[in-house]
């Protein structure tokens, strides 16, 4: 069996969504978008295939929101093309099959949650029943509250409700969990997983690698408007993480950097910290050569730190 078949099998095993029917639902093709002097997206391409959850991952100002706004037809590219559901994203028919959750600072406060959902549902030809939307977005207890009275997390859930109320095939979630506490973030993750289980295509933007890892079957890492890398969460984590070895040793740091798969060596007080893809090999060598070695710890490199390292390295490389 070929290696690619194995990978494909592994992917389908981890993600039961029908990757087999991978038709392109939306795509940005070598899109460049400038705001004055700032290039928000630089020759950026992205493809969403039917039924997949794609996370667009990057730090603030990376161009994630610009990509979403282009796909929603809210702005047009300086060059390149945007197609959504086979149409121009400004096409009204395309929009009836799209739901969106954008970063909204305030919503009209003097309408109740139920009223907002009723209104947004009316925009779609085949909406979900309001009761169903309230259930999916976990708004049942607060349906009759004015929007202005909701907490931050409740507001995000209500906006999520507005994104899904039209029963869309394609859902864009721009930083859906921003400003939420851990508990409500996890609750929203469950809801996004339920969407994907229902066969929806989802594009979400986030600056948390953990969030992308938990939700997406494909992660696209972007910084300063450019594509950095793209792959399954496992592939991305492999690229950005490695392991962190910490110990007290007499071995020379210059020697340690020559050991197989070592990415970085630095001193931390009396100990030395080594980042390596294959810590077992490194530790075996070190133990053979230094009997005084002690205080050994091996841990996963913090995902967020590693991600920051990746984006900042790339930034330096591009500079």
Partner 1 sequence: MATNAVAVSAPRPLNLGYYARIFRKETQYEFIRMLRTRAFSLSVIGFPVMFYLLFGSSNRHNMFARYLMPSYSCMGVVSACLFGIGMGIALERAQGWLELKQASPMPRFAYLAAKTISCAAFALVIVAALVTLGITLGGVTLTAVEALKLAGVVLTGSIPFTAMGLLVALLVPANAGPGVINLIYLPMSFASGFWMPVNYLPHWLQVITPALPTYHLAQLALNIFGYAQSGSMLIHWEALAGFTLLMLGAAWIIFTRGEAKA
* Footprint on this chain of partner 1 (rule: CB under 8 A): 22-25, 27, 29, 50, 69, 72-76, 83, 85-87, 92-93, 95-98, 100, 102-108, 110-111, 115, 118-120, 122-126, 146, 159, 162, 166, 169, 172, 201
**25 vs 228, beta carbon nearer partner 1:** 25
Strand order in the sheet with 271-276: 262-268, 271-276, 243-248, 294-300
Q: For the chain, give the number of residues.
A: 319
**Nearest approach, Cβ of 117 to partner 1 (angstroms)?**
11
Torsions phi, psi of 296, nearest 5? -75, 130
Separation of alpha carbons 191 and 185, rounded Å: 10
**36 vs 183, beta carbon nearer partner 1:** 36
**50 vs 311, beta carbon nearer partner 1:** 50
**Nearest approach, Cβ of 122 to partner 1 (angstroms)?**
5
**Nearest approach, Cβ of 90 to partner 1 (angstroms)?**
10
Contact 166, 96 (CB under 8 A): yes
Q: How far is CA 4 from the centre of its chain?
A: 24
**155 vs 243, beta carbon nearer partner 1:** 155
**Nearest approach, Cβ of 12 to partner 1 (angstroms)?**
17
**70 vs 215, beta carbon nearer partner 1:** 70
Per-residue DSSP letters for 216-278?
A: -SEEEEEETTEEEEEE-HHHHHHHH--EEEEEE--S-HHHHTTSTTEEEEEEETTEEEEEES-
Q: 244: which residues sit within 8 A by CB, 6+ positions away? A: 273, 274, 275, 298, 299, 300, 301, 302
**Nearest approach, Cβ of 102 to partner 1 (angstroms)?**
5
**Nearest approach, Cβ of 266 to partner 1 (angstroms)?**
43
**Nearest approach, Cβ of 93 to partner 1 (angstroms)?**
5
**22 vs 261, beta carbon nearer partner 1:** 22
215: left (phi over 0), alpha (psi -120 to 50) or beta: alpha
**15 vs 147, beta carbon nearer partner 1:** 147
Nearest to 94 by CA among 116, 125, 66, 117: 125
- Per-residue CA distances from 183 to 92, 157, 176, 195 (Å): 37, 13, 14, 19
**Nearest approach, Cβ of 113 to partner 1 (angstroms)?**
12
Separation of alpha carbons 174 and 193, rounded Å: 16
**27 vs 281, beta carbon nearer partner 1:** 27
């Amino acid at each position: 069996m070929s290696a690619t078949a194995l990978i494909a099998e592994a992917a389908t095993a981890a993600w039961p969504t029908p990757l087999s029917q991978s038709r392109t639902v939306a795509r940005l093709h070598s899109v460049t978008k400038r705001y004055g002097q700032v290039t928000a997206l630089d020759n950026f391409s992205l493809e969403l295939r039917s039924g997949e959850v794609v996370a667009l991952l990057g730090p603030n100002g990376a161009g994630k929101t610009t990509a979403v706004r282009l796909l929603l037809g809210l702005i047009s590219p300086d060059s390149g093309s945007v197609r959504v559901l086979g149409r121009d994203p400004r096409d009204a028919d395309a929009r009836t099959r799209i739901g969106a959750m954008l970063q909204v600072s305030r919503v009209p406060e003097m309408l109740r949650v139920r009223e907002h959902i009723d209104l947004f549902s009316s925009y779609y030809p085949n909406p979900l029943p309001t009761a169903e939307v309230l259930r999916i977005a976990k708004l049942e207890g607060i349906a009759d509250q004015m929007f202005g009275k909701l907490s931050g997390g409740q507001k995000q859930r209500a906006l999520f409700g507005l994104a899904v109320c039209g029963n869309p095939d394609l859902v864009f979630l721009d930083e859906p969990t921003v400003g939420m506490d851990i508990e409500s973030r996890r609750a929203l993750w469950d809801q996004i997983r339920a969407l994907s289980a229902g066969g929806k295509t989802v594009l979400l933007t986030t600056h948390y690698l953990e969030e992308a890892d938990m939700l997406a079957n494909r992660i696209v890492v972007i910084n300063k408007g450019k594509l950095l890398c793209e792959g399954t969460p496992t592939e991305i984590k492999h690229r950005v993480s490695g392991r962190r070895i910490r110990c007290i040793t007499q071995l020379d740091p210059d020697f340690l950097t020559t050991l197989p798969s070592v990415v970085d060596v630095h001193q931390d007080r009396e100990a030395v910290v080594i980042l390596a893809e294959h810590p077992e090999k490194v530790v075996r060598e070190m133990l053979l050569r230094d009997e005084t070695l002690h205080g050994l710890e091996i841990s996963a490199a913090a995902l967020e730190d590693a991600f920051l390292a990746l984006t900042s390295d790339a930034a330096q490389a591009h500079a």
